[in-house]
Structure 1
Amino acid sequence: MAAADESLTLVWFRDDLRVSDHSALTAARADGRVIAVWIREVRDDEGLGPRPLGGASRWWAHESLAGLHQELAALGIPLLFAAGQAAAIIPRLASSLGVGAVRWSRRYAPASRSLDSQIKTVLDDQGFAVHSHSGSLLVEPWTAAPQGGDHYKVFTPFWKAVSGREVGDVLPTPESQTPLDPALVESARGCPAVTDLDGLGLLDGTETGAGDFAAAQGPRWWQDTVACHWSPGARAAGDQLEDLAAGINGYSTTRDVPADATSTSRLSPRLRFGELSPRQLLHAARTTTSVTPEDRAAWIRQLYWREFSWHLTYHYPDIDYTPIRDEFRHFPYEDDDEALSHWRSGTTGYPLVDAGMAQLWETGWMHNRVRMVTASFLTKNLLQHWWSGEQWFWDTLVDADEANNAVSWQWVAGSGADAAPYFRVFNPERQRERFDPDGAYIGDWLPYPPDASPSPIVGLADSRQAALSAYDRMKNMSAGAVSSRPVSPDDDDTRAV
């Protein structure tokens, strides 16, 4: 047990796999000694809990947890692993360990938030002190609301309202502690559902909750491909943070150039798994002196787009499959397995789309400009439901974020908050001419030789017109009115952001 003059706290790590700027860990060490746990959670019968990890994310989580285990061990803090329903595991561990308190970083998706509330009630009833901490966001969602409204539905007013707020200082790594009694740690490892890292099954290709998608098709693909492009873990994240200026320089003008390896910071998986906190990133961006004010402002604005995505997710249950704009429940999407297969495999006949899908499969990541183009092509040119693409991205992206992924897909599809007008379709050929004029990106990633390009699976002009007609049918079904909006030849499909 902990020494008589020190309390023992259980810190439940979730998407915050770091030891610096970690409010829950810092507070726990201020109280006394710490034992930590990470759970591969299974949703309960009511669907409560986090969304099950996709295949690429499971690989990242496994590698990042190995690094966290080492970092905590260097501080004298044991890290336990468990798999199952957190509502049963956390109270059982707290009781078995004899801790005085349980601390965690807050979660904001409704299904996770509800579960945490239930667990807190159980722990309170059993006499444990329970504390939740900020750590994943700069702005708590309940603190941002327009005058006379419940929450922001458009990004720019949200950005103007919250971007000037103080976010506090970055917390240092806590001091190391006197090791716990080994017998206590071993007894905890004997609890039901507690296992070792390999026992979590994160690399075994088991179901992801996303259907017959990437992990089912190639359960170990990440070890041959994705692993060659990334080094998960907070230590590697810290190295990237030290070189943040390279990812910000030129950002305001080059962020849409997919062939430029330095046009973005590629920190999104670090944020997704909490290897870096948004506060660390904001502080580093503000204090980096070797970048222009324009580049700094443009980069920080994207950091707040992530905040906005979580703001929306907090207020909209089931955002990963339910449209924010209710009328899109009536959109006449088509069910075409062949078209969906061509999109997934990067054989649509449109080089920018196919190169993007190849980059995704090879690296677990795709440039943001190309993400928008591929998403628009699926939902508008192929008229496939946005959640078919959202689930594929969920399974193949190392930065698959429960908020960003769904919110961004709904934005492109037109069903989300602050969505661009539906008739703004990304023309993949014009996008290629504009953002990859010399073919460098396509040359890097095109899965077939340029002279062996497959025939396009759909015509751009005809499919765009079909999408607009489907949009009009949706409006008729949802409003019971005949649309009189003309389709203008000036509807330039390159105007989307």
Structure 2
Amino acid sequence: MVSRASRPLTLLWFRDDLRVTDHEALTAARDDGDVVAIWIREERDTEGRGPRPLGAATRWWVHESLQVLGAELDKRGIPLLFAAGTATQIIPEVAAELGADTVRWSRRYAPASRALDEAVARELEARGIASEDSPGALLVEPWKVEPSSASAYYKVFTPFWNAARQVSVDLPLPAVKAQSLPQEVADRVDRVRGANTHLLAEVDDLGLLEAGTGPASTRFSLRSGEGAGAAKISLGEGDPRFPWWEDTIARHWTPGCVAAHEAVDHLGERIAGYAEDRDIPGDPEGTSALSPRLRFGEISARKLLAAVDALGDVGAVDREAWIRQLYWREFAWHLTYHVPDLDRRPMRPEFAGFPYEDDPEALAAWQAGRTGIALVDAGMRQLWRTGWMHNRVRMVAASLLTKNLLLPWQLGEQWFWDTLVDADEANNPVSWQWVAGCGADASPFFRVFNPERQRARFDPDGVYVRQWLEGDTGESAREVDAGDSDDGSAGEQVPIVDLGESRQAALAAFDAMKSAQSAD
């Protein structure tokens, strides 16, 4: 075993906590002594332990965010290593080769990730290396909020919200202090970086942007370039030719913890009027647009909570409406902690027998924003071009897929997982199950969002629909091909489904499911 350094050395394992401010594990590591950091593009092990593999949009985001994190750590004298593979092998190996006394990380809450972290801790213990986990992702950890009833966990949001708000939240920590790494440790880092086959030289070597990492089930055409010579690119599953983020989502976002903290400076502008404006998809200031930054921990939830509490010029109604959404994220992780496989299995088991349809053409039309239903098509175009969709429109698009088209919610969840920059293991499946009527605190199945009524109510002047169906103000060079329309708009396309008839068909399918359950 490599001899220990003259003062304690910690290997800090970054995951979805790509920041240097209000980072409990990183701060504790620096308080102990010297720090070397690592980020791994993880693969699930043979027992299925580990985080869900990243979708295409989140791979782009984390690639960009890691570069910012690396620069911020470098300013503080903390080396950042990169690796790809199975963490149960990589973390113990690298820690031992560095001569680390301790490995620290921020806690994860999905069952498969918790199992992986426990396995890593056992491997470290076998090598005589300590491991420490710290909070950091949530305001209230799942085991700190338990119902007084016989239920093991909250299944309805409002009681959860009422209980969770009673749990005190610590104030955020300052940015981690810089270090001057001893030369012997710096030399050891260089030797390990060159010798360990799992370690990579830089972010680009992680393969996050490699060919073939686009959305997995893209079946529609895209228009590339301008003018009569514009080429049509036909994408199939795993097609390696189109790094779709280059002139789509990359034009709309600046990932990284620096930009995340800059956004907090303007939080008051986004929260004023939030209670009403958050439902208006055509209002660019109606939401805070912080969801991808929370997803990758570029800023902590408690930093945001403290920032909102400190706003003196925001009304109580707007403040509470915004904080309530922050706690909906907490609720999603609360459910995920207690329930495995939320991305595949309905929480209400009777829905495992729901008579969904098998219609690849309808799925492709929905993915491409070619349903002929304006609000949904606008939302799906916004998703493709920006990696994000307004939450009101997400609900409407999900309702159309699961209740009007009668397609399995898992197909929509997977598409969002691949194309949303804020897709995480909790919010994405929990929200889909909520709309589909099969999850906790679910919207009743008979609640079918009518896209036309939603558009009339929340986009009465057509601002949102025009923006995304008539083009993204020239910013996006590639447009979803919606048929014969030169501008990529839905034009006179006939809706692929009758909203009234399909609603009745959905209710009939629901009744058939209940009848089948009764017969069993």
User: Counterparts of 2:301 and 2:389 in 1: how far apart (Å)?
Assistant: 21
Counterpart in the other structure of 1:377: 400
For the residue of structure 2 that corresponds to 1:222, the secondary structure is coil
Partner of residue 437 from structure 2, selected from 414, 426, 433 = 414
User: Counterparts of 1:211 and 1:76 in 2: how far apart (Å)?
Assistant: 43
Counterpart in the other structure of 2:332: 309
> How far apart are residue 211 of structure 1 and its match?
5.8
- 1:158-210 per-position Cα deviation (integer Å, ceiling 9, x unaligned): 00001132110110112110134332121121212110211100011445896
For the residue of structure 1 that corresponds to 2:238, the secondary structure is helix
Amino acid at match of 2:513: M
For the residue of structure 2 that corresponds to 1:120, the secondary structure is helix
TM-score by length of 2: 0.90
> Does the CA contact (< 8 Å) of 2:214 and 2:243 recur in 1?
no
Amino acid at match of 2:60: W
Once superposed, what is the RMSD of the aligned Cα atoms?
1.7
> How far apart are residue 219 of structure 1 and its match?
4.2
Partner of residue 459 from structure 1, selected from 487, 493, 498 = 498
User: Counterparts of 1:451 and 1:333 in 2: how far apart (Å)?
Assistant: 27
Counterpart in the other structure of 1:37: 38
Partner of residue 151 from structure 1, selected from 150, 153, 156 = 153
Counterpart in the other structure of 1:177: 179
Q: Which moved more, 1:469-478 or 1:53-62?
A: 469-478
Counterpart in the other structure of 2:451: 428
For the residue of structure 2 that corresponds to 1:375, the secondary structure is helix
> Does the CA contact (< 8 Å) of 1:55 and 1:219 recur in 2?
no
Q: Does 1:137 find its partner at 2:105?
A: no
> Does the CA contact (< 8 Å) of 2:101 and 2:129 recur in 1?
yes
> How far apart are residue 347 of structure 1 and its match?
0.6
> Does the CA contact (< 8 Å) of 1:53 and 1:208 recur in 2?
no
User: Counterparts of 1:394 and 1:451 in 2: how far apart (Å)?
Assistant: 25
Distance change (3 Å), C-alpha of 1:136 and 1:219? farther
Counterpart in the other structure of 1:199: 205
For the residue of structure 2 that corresponds to 1:223, the secondary structure is coil
User: Counterparts of 1:208 and 1:358 in 2: how far apart (Å)?
Assistant: 16
Distance change (3 Å), C-alpha of 1:289 and 1:261? same
Matches within 5 A, 1:92-103: 92-103=93-104
Amino acid at match of 1:472: D
> How far apart are residue 127 of structure 1 and its match?
1.0
Partner of residue 164 from structure 1, selected from 155, 163, 166 = 166
Partner of residue 339 from structure 1, selected from 362, 370, 375 = 362
Unaligned runs of 5+ in 1: 482-497
- 1:122-153 per-position Cα deviation (integer Å, ceiling 9, x unaligned): 11121111100000011111121101321000
Amino acid at match of 2:113: S
State percent identity of aligned pairs: 58
Counterpart in the other structure of 1:76: 77
User: Counterparts of 1:468 and 1:307 in 2: how far apart (Å)?
Assistant: 32
Q: Does 1:65 find its partner at 2:66?
A: yes
For the residue of structure 2 that corresponds to 1:452, the secondary structure is coil
> How far apart are residue 254 of structure 1 and its match?
1.1
> Does the CA contact (< 8 Å) of 2:375 and 2:393 recur in 1?
yes
For the residue of structure 1 that corresponds to 2:50, the secondary structure is coil
- 1:40-82 per-position Cα deviation (integer Å, ceiling 9, x unaligned): 0011111111011111100000000000000000000000000
Counterpart in the other structure of 1:105: 106
User: Counterparts of 2:269 and 2:442 in 1: how far apart (Å)?
Assistant: 31
Q: Which moved more, 1:141-150 or 1:239-248?
A: 141-150
Matches within 5 A, 1:471-486: 471-480=510-519
> How far apart are residue 2 of structure 1 and its match?
10
Distance change (3 Å), C-alpha of 1:16 and 1:2? farther
Counterpart in the other structure of 1:486: none
> How far apart are residue 246 of structure 1 and its match?
1.3
User: Counterparts of 1:219 and 1:330 in 2: how far apart (Å)?
Assistant: 38
Amino acid at match of 1:194: L
- 1:333-368 per-position Cα deviation (integer Å, ceiling 9, x unaligned): 001000001000001000000000000000000000
> Does the CA contact (< 8 Å) of 1:2 and 1:180 recur in 2?
no
> How far apart are residue 120 of structure 1 and its match?
0.6
User: Counterparts of 1:61 and 1:248 in 2: how far apart (Å)?
Assistant: 27
Counterpart in the other structure of 1:116: 117
User: Counterparts of 1:211 and 1:349 in 2: how far apart (Å)?
Assistant: 20
> Does the CA contact (< 8 Å) of 2:218 and 2:364 recur in 1?
no
> Does the CA contact (< 8 Å) of 2:356 and 2:408 recur in 1?
yes
> How far apart are residue 383 of structure 1 and its match?
0.3
- 1:404-432 per-position Cα deviation (integer Å, ceiling 9, x unaligned): 00000000000100001111100000000
> How far apart are residue 478 of structure 1 and its match?
2.1
User: Counterparts of 1:401 and 1:427 in 2: how far apart (Å)?
Assistant: 27
- 1:371-409 per-position Cα deviation (integer Å, ceiling 9, x unaligned): 000000000000000010000000000001110000000
Amino acid at match of 1:33: D
User: Counterparts of 1:474 and 1:307 in 2: how far apart (Å)?
Assistant: 31
Q: Does 1:221 find its partner at 2:283?
A: no
Amino acid at match of 2:158: T
Q: Which moved more, 1:44-53 or 1:256-265?
A: 44-53
For the residue of structure 2 that corresponds to 1:102, the secondary structure is strand
Counterpart in the other structure of 1:488: none
> Does the CA contact (< 8 Å) of 1:2 and 1:33 recur in 2?
no
User: Counterparts of 1:212 and 1:342 in 2: how far apart (Å)?
Assistant: 10
Amino acid at match of 1:278: A
User: Counterparts of 1:338 and 1:212 in 2: how far apart (Å)?
Assistant: 12
Counterpart in the other structure of 1:489: none
Distance change (3 Å), C-alpha of 1:163 and 1:129? same
Counterpart in the other structure of 1:239: 262
User: Counterparts of 2:217 and 2:464 in 1: how far apart (Å)?
Assistant: 31
User: Counterparts of 1:12 and 1:210 in 2: how far apart (Å)?
Assistant: 29
Amino acid at match of 2:69: L
- 1:423-444 per-position Cα deviation (integer Å, ceiling 9, x unaligned): 1100000000000000000010
Partner of residue 260 from structure 1, selected from 269, 278, 283 = 283
Amino acid at match of 1:466: A
User: Counterparts of 2:367 and 2:216 in 1: how far apart (Å)?
Assistant: 14
TM-score by length of 1: 0.94
User: Counterparts of 2:492 and 2:519 in 1: how far apart (Å)?
Assistant: 44
Q: Does 1:14 find its partner at 2:9?
A: no
Q: Does 1:323 find its partner at 2:346?
A: yes
User: Counterparts of 1:436 and 1:263 in 2: how far apart (Å)?
Assistant: 13
Distance change (3 Å), C-alpha of 1:137 and 1:403? same
Unaligned runs of 5+ in 2: 220-234, 471-484
> Does the CA contact (< 8 Å) of 2:14 and 2:105 recur in 1?
yes
